[in-house]
Amino acid sequence: MIRLDKNSETDLIKLFESKNIGLEGNIIKLIESDSNDFKTYLTKCTDKDKDSRRKRLEITKKIQLQNNELSDLNEQNQKMMEDLQSTLKEAEEQKVKIEAQNGELVAWREENEKIQQELQKEMIKSESARIRAEEAKTNAINDLDILQKKNQTELISTIVRVALYIIVGVGIVTTGVYVFTLVIGKDTQVIGAAWSNIFGILLTNAFSIVGTIMGIKYATENKQ
Amino acid sequence: MIDSILLVDDEDLFHLVFEDACSLLDISLSLNALNSSDEAAKLFQKWFQDGDNNDKPECVFVDLNIIGSSFDGIELIRKVNFEYGNHVVIGIISSSNEPEEQAKALQAGAQFWIIKSDDIEPRLEEFRKDYEGYKNRTAPFKVYK
């Protein structure tokens, strides 16, 4: 323990009373005195020191608390930043994936367009092939029709030729019989009437046949 | 009253809190504070090698996790107890309350474990009452919650 001389004790007491300046800290705990006045002084100094320490302790605790809160907030912020960064990273990865998918889609679209163009070309080709086939079909039908008509015409012309031969033959034969009858001087009343009738009929039929032939010929020529 | 205390803690603000609390509770006359366990280990090594015990603290409070140090508080206690001579009352002062860590501290020779909080004074007061037991090595390891 420390003991101060009387003058020092008096000076310290006066300093405290005049300017409120006193001893501070743990040194007070190491000073002892027999003087009641100085003991009172030491008690006052101790109380003052304790008050200021208590205040400082409270303030320091508050600051410590605030620091802890700030530290917690900082940790939360860092965590949030990490979360944000990982989210950003994920978004970037997704972006890269989407870009890759987009690239694939563009390539696929281009391929599709190519295929579509090829299809269109093929469709045009098939359309033209269809048109050609239809034309061929029409031609074939026409050919068939013509052939049929040709056959019919040939048949008709054959029939007409035969009919003409018959008419001419019958005319010749009837005329011959009539001429023969005239030459030999026999009765020509029946044969003359018959010849006249037959000849009229033959002429009528012959004109009819000629008309038919001309009509058929005209129709065939028009169609061709 | 404890003559001298050494606090090893990386938090400067806690140095002030601890000093004021100790002064208000009349726990100690002098208090020194260090920020790293390396510095504390160097001092203990010096005291051990020189055999100079005048500056040596009577009681040491060590934080568990000391940022910026190459080893933690438990390792410092182990070094002090088993490498540099076991002549001080030493323990942990930490916000952690892990029984596993407390068991490790006990193995390293810690005598007490004070849990740091906003209201540290009641724990220090209780510690002051038990201090003589720690000094005499009669008090068992205790956790001040």
Amino acid at A194: A
- pLDDT band per the 50, 70, 90 thresholds, residue B131: very high
Amino acid at B62: V
The residue in chain A having the minimum alpha-carbon distance to the alpha carbon of residue B12 is A64
Is A118 contained in some domain?
A: no
Q: What's the alpha-carbon Rg for chain B, to the nearest Å?
A: 14
For residue A44, give its domain range: 2-84
Last residue of a domain, one of A84, A101, A127: A84
Report residue A129: phi and psi, to 5°.
Answer: -65, -40
Question: B55 in helix, strand or coil?
Answer: coil
ipTM over 0.85: no
Is A129 contained in some domain?
A: no
User: What is the fold, at CATH topology level, of the domain defined by B2-57+76-144?
Assistant: Rossmann fold (3.40.50)
What is the per-residue pLDDT across B69-94, written as a single tens digit (0 to 9) for each?
A: 999 999 999 999 999 876 799 999 99
What is the per-residue pLDDT across A18-53, written as a single tens digit (0 to 9) for each?
A: 988 999 888 888 898 989 999 999 999 999 998 988
Last residue of a domain, one of A84, A100, A130: A84
**Domain range summary for chain B, segments of one domain joined by +:** 2-57+76-144
Is A111 contained in some domain?
A: no
- Residue numbers in A near B20 (CB within 8 A): 53-54, 56-57, 60
Lowest mean pLDDT among A78-82, A195-199, B43-47: A195-199
Q: Which residues pair with B31 in a beta bridge?
A: B5
Distance from CA of A103 to the nearest CA of B (A): 51
The total of structural domains in chain A comes to 2
Interface contacts (A, B; CB < 8 Å): 38
Orientation of helix B121-136 relative to helix B12-24, angle to 10°: 80
A222 pLDDT above the threshold of 70: no
**Interface residues on B facing A, Cβ-Cβ cutoff 8 A:** 1, 11, 13-14, 16-17, 20-21, 23-24, 26, 28-30, 118
Q: What is the pLDDT of residue B86?
A: 67
Is A130 contained in some domain?
A: no
Q: Which residue has the tokens 């051990």?
A: B48
Q: Which residue has the tokens 């005049």?
A: A18
Residue in A19, A95, A32, A22 with CA at minimum distance from that of residue A52: A22
Is A131 contained in some domain?
A: no
Is A89 contained in some domain?
A: no
Q: Check: CB of residue B109 under 8 Å from CB of residue B85.
A: no
Interface touch A60/B118, C-beta < 8 Å: no
Q: Check: CB of residue B85 under 8 Å from CB of residue B103.
A: no
Q: Which residues pair with B94 in a beta bridge?
A: B115
- Residue numbers in B near A53 (CB within 8 A): 20, 23-24
Distance from CA of A66 to the nearest CA of B (A): 11
Last residue of a domain, one of A36, A62, A84: A84
- Which DSSP letter does residue A125 get? H
